[in-house]
Amino acid sequence: MKAIRVHTIGGPEVLIYEEIAKPEPGNGEARVKIEASGVNYIDTYQRTGLYKVPLPFILGQEAAGVVDAVGAGVTEVKPGDRVAYASALGAYAEYAIVPAWRLVPVPEGVDARQAAAAMLQGMTAHYLACDTFPLKPGDTALVHAAAGGVGLLLVQIAKMRGARVIGTVSTEEKAALARQVGADDVILYTETDFEAAVKQLTDGKGVDVVYDSVGKTTFDQSLNCLRRRGYMVLFGASSGPVPPLDPQVLNAKGSLFLTRPLLAHYTADRAEVLARAHDVFEWVRAGKLHIRIDRTFPLAQAADAHRALQSRATKGKILLLP
């Protein structure tokens, strides 16, 4: 089978398209014939070594396809089932071995591309808005990168939960997309100081929560956007990792809360995976959650997909197609 493997950490050029043996499922595992794989920022963190993975490895944490073989002891799925998954390495390939408990059924009315695009980013937006800081009517949230893959979904889920959403984006085109999915106010951070704009929009009170996937370039000002005892939810680092922080800063700025969540900790067992995926897929089927696929690339062009993602020019999801 064909796969994208990383033999040494580095830039997109280290993504090697090569022929390897088709893997066989072991105890508790299933083999999935992949129809679409999601490209996510965590893939770039692993490719560059920010997140350590033993070399060599097949990149990718999210895909949708059809089960074509199962190992011993598997009861969750059977060959022929349409499934999707996240948080299991090896998705940049024609076939992947996945722990069976992580596979979720894809319902009628949701195609493979939608399913692949919805899993990691959809469940991320779900846990952020529903659990990390459970939004409720009357809350105000600041969402950075509001026109990105997670951002567009997070804005929609936040609005479903009754919150006011302030988004930041880099261009007018992205601002239009964020407004289209429900953002109440959109700040072009390339033209306006977002901290000053947030304070103006909230009459100086600040927001209840900041959802920040950008990291280094937004973190300090994001803290200044929070109300007293507000929540800073740092869930990514597209601009680079945040430097070490003196906890006294949180005290000085209003007894703030800081968390650095990870999807794996919010999908730690099958019941939680199924519950989150069920909500996301039902919202997609009902037309309440729109999945925007920005572009697709052939599997062999994974390096180009990474360059597109890191250019910050994308508006929604990037998929690889075997």
Beta carbons within 10 angstroms of residue 16's beta carbon: 14
pLDDT in tens, 16-75: 999 999 999 999 999 999 999 999 989 999 999 989 999 999 999 999 999 999 999 999
Domain 2-120+264-321 belongs in CATH node 3.90.180.10: yes
What's the pTM? 0.92
Residue with the two structure tokens 């195609």: 111
pLDDT in tens, 68-102: 999 999 999 999 999 999 999 999 999 999 999 99
Torsion-angle region of 20 (φ positive above 0: left; ψ -120 to 50: alpha; else: beta): beta
Alpha-carbon dihedral of residues 259, 55, 115, 165, nearest 10 degrees? Answer: 20
> Which band of pLDDT confidence, cut at 50, 70 and 90, is reported for residue 318?
very high
CATH fold of 137-260 reads Rossmann fold (3.40.50)
> Which band of pLDDT confidence, cut at 50, 70 and 90, is reported for residue 230?
very high
Query: Where in the chain are all domains bearing CATH 3.90.180.10?
Result: 2-120+264-321
Query: Where in the chain are all domains bearing CATH 3.40.50.720?
Result: 137-260
Alpha-carbon dihedral of residues 245, 250, 253, 257, nearest 10 degrees? Answer: 130
> Which band of pLDDT confidence, cut at 50, 70 and 90, is reported for residue 314?
confident
Q: How many whole angstroms separate alpha carbon 15 and alpha carbon 39?
A: 13
* DSSP letter (8 states) at residue 93: B
